């Protein structure tokens, strides 16, 4: 279970510095900031009581739920742009990607295009993840949003679907981490023997397959049916081998690994949702 009180705040020193600089310079409400990317992964890992390393990327990515484009434009006016992508700024001396999302930013829904860009940014699921996120108070005192493990899994599932379609499999490792969170979390086991026991029964109480299916089901629960079905169609059309190869804490048994991926996929398709 996610417990922000368990987070080793030393992992978030750079996040705290960047958020503090953003907030004090532009007046952005920190509660509109959603931690995403590598620092999000590391914070969730720590909040689950895990101390094992994930991987060595140190990207600093922040989503901002904007009420008007003026909020994002204030960031562009206050901080130097450091790449041509229109969302990378030098904040607190660091490279920070700031991604705008929300009803104002998304046209059509799931895509955002600041005036500084010529193409869209995929922000599919950002609002839904934001709405279910926990409040994380940074060492500098600002409260920001930390996705639930399933929310992180949602964002990584879409990222995997988008990039893997073009031969870029970098998100496989992060999605594998999310699957491992569910496999190792005691609260998952509790659910699989109570509210979600139907999943355990489906797999003959195989813990690995059941936890993977539960993550898929929880990801689907974030989304309206049409968006969930869109995500499934994107995900299922891809080669599963790179993802299966990155799964953690499993034997090098190809059939077992593919069984886990298939269970996750079935969870994404799962229409047996509570009323």
DSSP 8-state class, residue 127: H
> Tens digits of per-residue pLDDT, 118-173?
889 999 999 999 999 999 999 999 999 999 999 999 999 999 999 988 888 888 88
Instruction: Assess whether 46 and 9 both reside in one domain.
Output: yes
Output the six-digit token pair for 124.
């599919």
Output the six-digit token pair for 33.
């900031």
Give the chain's domain count: 2
Per the structure, the complete domain to which residue 243 belongs is given by 155-269
Runs of H (alpha helix) within 121-222: 126-132, 149-164, 171-184, 186-192, 197-202, 207-221
Instruction: Assess whether 176 and 63 both reside in one domain.
Output: no
252's CB contacts (< 8 A; 6+ apart) are: none
Query: In the listed set 147, 168, 196, which residue is the last one of a domain according to the structure?
Result: 147
For residue 168, which phi and psi values (nearest 5 degrees)?
-105, 110
Given a cut of 60, whether residue 272 has pLDDT beyond it is no
> Tens digits of per-residue pLDDT, 163-211?
988 888 888 889 999 999 999 999 999 999 999 999 999 999 999 999 9
Given a cut of 70, whether residue 79 has pLDDT beyond it is yes
Instruction: Assess whether 85 and 165 both reside in one domain.
Output: no
Runs of H (alpha helix) within the chain: 13-26, 37-47, 69-78, 126-132, 149-164, 171-184, 186-192, 197-202, 207-221, 225-236, 241-246, 254-269
Q: Are 213 and 197 in contact (CB under 8 A)?
A: no
85 pLDDT band, cuts 50/70/90, is confident
274 lies in some domain: no
Instruction: Assess whether 97 and 60 both reside in one domain.
Output: yes
Over residues 29-53, mean pLDDT:
93
Nearest 5°: the CA angle 59, 60, 62 is 135
Instruction: Assess whether 230 and 122 both reside in one domain.
Output: no
55 pLDDT band, cuts 50/70/90, is low
Over residues 221-238, mean pLDDT:
93
Over residues 8-36, mean pLDDT:
96
pLDDT of residue 274: 43
Instruction: Assess whether 131 and 191 both reside in one domain.
Output: no
Instruction: Assess whether 40 and 107 both reside in one domain.
Output: yes
pLDDT of residue 273: 44
For 85, the 3-state DSSP assignment is: coil
25: CATH: 3.30.460
Query: In the listed set 147, 177, 206, which residue is the last one of a domain according to the structure?
Result: 147
80 pLDDT band, cuts 50/70/90, is very high
Is pTM beyond 0.95? Reply is no
For residue 188, which phi and psi values (nearest 5 degrees)?
-65, -45
pLDDT of residue 118: 85
237 lies in some domain: yes
Instruction: Assess whether 8 and 141 both reside in one domain.
Output: yes
């Amino acid at each position: 279970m996610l417990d922000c009180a368990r987070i080793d705040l030393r992992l978030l020193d750079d996040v705290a510095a960047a958020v503090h600089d953003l907030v004090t310079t532009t007046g952005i409400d920190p509660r509109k900031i959603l931690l995403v990317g590598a620092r999000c992964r590391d914070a969730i890992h720590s909040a689950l009581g895990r101390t094992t390393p994930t991987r060595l990327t140190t990207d600093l990515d922040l989503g901002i739920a904007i009420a008007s484009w003026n909020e994002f434009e204030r960031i562009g006016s206050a901080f130097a742009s450091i790449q041509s992508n229109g969302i990378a700024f030098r904040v607190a001396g660091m490279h920070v990607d700031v991604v705008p999302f929300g009803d104002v930013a998304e046209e059509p829904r799931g895509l955002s295009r600041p005036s500084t860009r010529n193409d869209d940014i995929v922000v599919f699921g950002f609002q839904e993840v934001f709405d279910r996120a926990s409040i994380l108070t940074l060492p500098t005192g600002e409260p920001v949003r930390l996705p639930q493990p399933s929310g992180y899994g949602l964002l990584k599932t879409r990222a995997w679907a988008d990039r893997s379609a073009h031969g870029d499999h970098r998100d496989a490792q992060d999605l594998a981490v999310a699957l491992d969170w569910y496999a190792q979390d005691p609260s998952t086991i509790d659910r699989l023997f109570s509210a979600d026991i139907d999943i355990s029964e489906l797999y003959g109480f195989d813990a690995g397959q059941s936890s993977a299916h539960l993550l898929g089901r929880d990801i689907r629960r974030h989304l309206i049916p049409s968006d969930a079905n869109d995500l499934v169609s994107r995900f299922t059309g891809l080669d599963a081998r790179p993802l299966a190869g990155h799964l953690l804490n499993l034997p090098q048994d190809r059939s077992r690994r593919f069984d886990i991926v298939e269970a996750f996929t079935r969870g994404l398709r799962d229409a047996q949702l509570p009323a």
